[in-house]
Structure 1
Amino acid sequence: MHVHVNAAESVDGKLSTRDREQVAISGPADFDRMDELRAESDGVLVGVGTVLADDPALTVKDDERRDRREQVGDPPNPARIVADSRARTPPDAEILDDAAPTYVLVSEAAAEGDVAALSAAGATVITAGSSRVDLPAAFDRLEGHGVERLLVEGGGELIFSLFESGLVDRLTVYVGSVVIGGRDAPTLADGEGFTDPDAFPSLSLTDVERLDDGVVLTYDAEAAEA
């Protein structure tokens, strides 16, 4: 599986405000770039925090891009995927409509009733891990459902976990010309953080593009030394 993380952050590295409120960091050109990334993907993954805060649809917006997908035998929209260890995704969430298949990745700690409610709402629930989602194992299961090109759109806790597990192949970051501030505002990679410099994931900057009033930075993950 090829895992591509895409995010938009302020110039001081924040994804949103300390109240976790969605902020317009990029503009129309970057929204169009993101839509193209979705159109090129088999699945779009977010953490449950993103679902609870924003209730996204995670669908391809452009009609021509949906048509292009269908012309090559793909469904009009990629699968929607939520990393949700305790099955907190609301059964009436936007991603559980009939626009595309939805997979919810949960752990064994998820309550049976919540898992059953998600299944009844149309989600395919994948259980991997005891207290938290075991991402490598869950991704293996997703590959069995045809997800080979995965786009990750946040949030910071999920992105850190992906880096921690060595699962990121490419990172694109839109850096907008705005300062949000706040020590408690979410960043690109939250979670516990790395303490050993030898464990820091290595990235290689492959492209810089000016877009809207900001820049898009593209990085490829460097292979770990044996």
Structure 2
Amino acid sequence: MSMRPYVILSVAASVDGYIDDSNPERLYLSNEADFDRVDEVRAGVDAVLIGANTVRRDNPRLRIRSQDRRDRRVAAGRPEIPLKVTISSKGDLDPASKFFGTEDVEKLVYVPTSAKSAAGERLGEVATVVGAGDPLDLRSVLTDLSSRGVGRLMVEGGGHIHTMFLTAELVDEIHLAVAPFFVGDSTAPRLVVDAKFPQDFRNRMHLDEVQQIGDIALLRYLLKEPSDA
């Protein structure tokens, strides 16, 4: 079996399983203490992956907020922030997005091989565009990341990306922060989209940790032993 990074799926969701609402402005589900926890986890990985829709909708920088954590990474001989990674069906992203910001770290855009040329013309000055098969093969993405020295990968959404990783059984643990309110909007993005999940009532995940962070409940689930990856 091909080597791949250890995959942590990190997400905050409302009690009813939504990761945003349908308003143009981003809905912040976590509290400040949980944002700091996520910052700590992010500081401990080699790469952070989000989907193209998250790049467009949230326009995140994916930086590490704590200067101390950035300094510790540099002192350990690592880049100040993890590699930034996204997956796109066409590569039709805005090169001025914060994702492609000025931080001195590599940005990787994985696209179907048939879309690589057009995506490279659009994004080649701000990112490395990689063809990953037709259709795009998630295992090829992880194999390529491993070849680039990525041992730990943090996946931060959105719902389609979560679903891709979970249905392919490529997640090792989930960090689920549950926000203490309901969204109740069927048009809003959810934690996952409709799919057939291996993690169903016949194959229950292992709840390894429960932690209270202010008004947030953090649930840490293990899906498999690292040796099974």
Q: Residue 195 of structure 1: CA displacement? A: 7.2
One of 207, 212, 215 as aligned partner of 1:205: 207
Q: Residue 31 of structure 1: CA displacement? A: 0.3
Is 1:185 aligned with 2:185?
no
* In 1: Cα distance, 2:223 partner to 2:24 partner: 28
- Decide whether the 8 Å contact of 1:163 with 1:201 is kept in 2: no
Q: TM-score, normalised by structure 1?
A: 0.91
SS in 1 for 2:8: strand
* In 2: Cα distance, 1:56 partner to 1:107 partner: 23
1:98-177 alignment, distance < 5 Å: 98-99=102-103, 100-110=105-115, 112-121=117-126, 123-131=127-135, 133-177=136-180
- Letter matched to residue 8 of structure 1: A
- The count of aligned residue pairs is 221
* In 2: Cα distance, 1:165 partner to 1:216 partner: 24
1:38-49 alignment, distance < 5 Å: 38-49=42-53
- Letter matched to residue 105 of structure 1: Y
Give 1:30's aligned residue: 34
1:19-38 CA deviation, whole Å, 9 max, x = no partner? 46421111100000010011
Give 2:69's aligned residue: 65
* In 1: Cα distance, 2:216 partner to 2:102 partner: 35
* In 2: Cα distance, 1:202 partner to 1:125 partner: 37
* Distance change (3 Å), C-alpha of 1:55 and 1:6: same
- Decide whether the 8 Å contact of 2:91 with 2:119 is kept in 1: yes
1:146-196 CA deviation, whole Å, 9 max, x = no partner? 111000110010000001111000101000111111122211111x41178
Q: Percent identity?
A: 32
* In 2: Cα distance, 1:69 partner to 1:38 partner: 11
* In 2: Cα distance, 1:78 partner to 1:55 partner: 17
- Letter matched to residue 47 of structure 1: G
1:29-84 CA deviation, whole Å, 9 max, x = no partner? 00000100110010000000100001100011100000000111101100000011
Gaps of 5+ in 2: none
- Letter matched to residue 112 of structure 1: S
Give the CA RMSD over aligned residues: 2.0
Is 1:76 aligned with 2:76?
no
Is 1:194 aligned with 2:196?
yes
Q: Residue 222 of structure 1: CA displacement? A: 3.2
Give 1:93's aligned residue: 97
* In 2: Cα distance, 1:197 partner to 1:64 partner: 37
Gaps of 5+ in 1: none
- Decide whether the 8 Å contact of 2:209 with 2:221 is kept in 1: yes
* In 1: Cα distance, 2:48 partner to 2:190 partner: 20
- Letter matched to residue 139 of structure 1: L
- Letter matched to residue 196 of structure 2: F
- Letter matched to residue 103 of structure 1: L
